[in-house]
């Protein structure tokens, strides 16, 4: 598998903590959750699509009601995640997670809890199935980092 065929837009910020702070600031601009959901959809559209050969059961993230495919490359120094969903809102959630964790060291990933989720109110405004899917995504990212420590 040649992951280099996709250019990752991440990391955007220098650290996971800075990425979480930027996400908090961006979501603070929106007055209600309909605007925040639209923003999530817009973020999801920024994800590069995955090649068809990656959209297989081997790369499917279990625990999500939507179809989510995720591919990881790298080592303890730098892990890059490529992921996408068939759901617009879920793709937005993926974008946020990759913004925080993709392109970081395994140590930084493991040491950076996803505080932005509660801070921007996602925890209260996601359906149970989306919450479960987001938890599965974050667990996968953390597990991949843990394996490389």
Q: Across-strand partners of 71?
A: 82
Instruction: Give CA–CA dist 3/19, Å, rounded.
Output: 24
Q: Of the residues 16, 40, 64, 70, which is catalytic?
A: 64
Would you call 138 a catalytic residue per the annotation?
no
H helices of the chain, in order, are 16-28, 33-44, 88-101, 106-110, 116-119, 122-125, 128-148
Parallel, antiparallel or unpaired: strands 78-85 and 68-75: antiparallel
Contact 128, 89 (CB under 8 A): no
Instruction: Give CA–CA dist 67/21, Å, rounded.
Output: 29
Catalytic (active-site) positions: 64
């Amino acid at each position: 598998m040649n992951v280099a065929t996709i250019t990752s837009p991440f990391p955007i910020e220098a650290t996971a903590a800075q990425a979480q702070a930027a996400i908090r600031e961006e979501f603070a601009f929106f007055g209600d959750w309909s605007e925040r959901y639209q923003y999530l959809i817009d973020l999801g559209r920024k994800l590069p699509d995955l090649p068809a050969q990656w959209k297989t059961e081997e790369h499917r993230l279990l625990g999500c009601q939507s179809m989510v495919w995720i591919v990881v490359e790298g080592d303890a120094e730098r892990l890059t995640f490529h992921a996408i969903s068939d759901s617009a809102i879920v793709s937005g959630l993926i974008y946020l997670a990759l913004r925080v964790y993709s392109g970081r060291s395994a140590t930084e990933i493991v040491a950076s809890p996803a505080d932005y989720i509660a801070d921007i109110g996602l925890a209260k405004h996601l359906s149970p199935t989306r919450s479960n899917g987001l938890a599965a995504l974050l667990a996968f990212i953390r597990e991949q980092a843990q394996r490389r420590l």
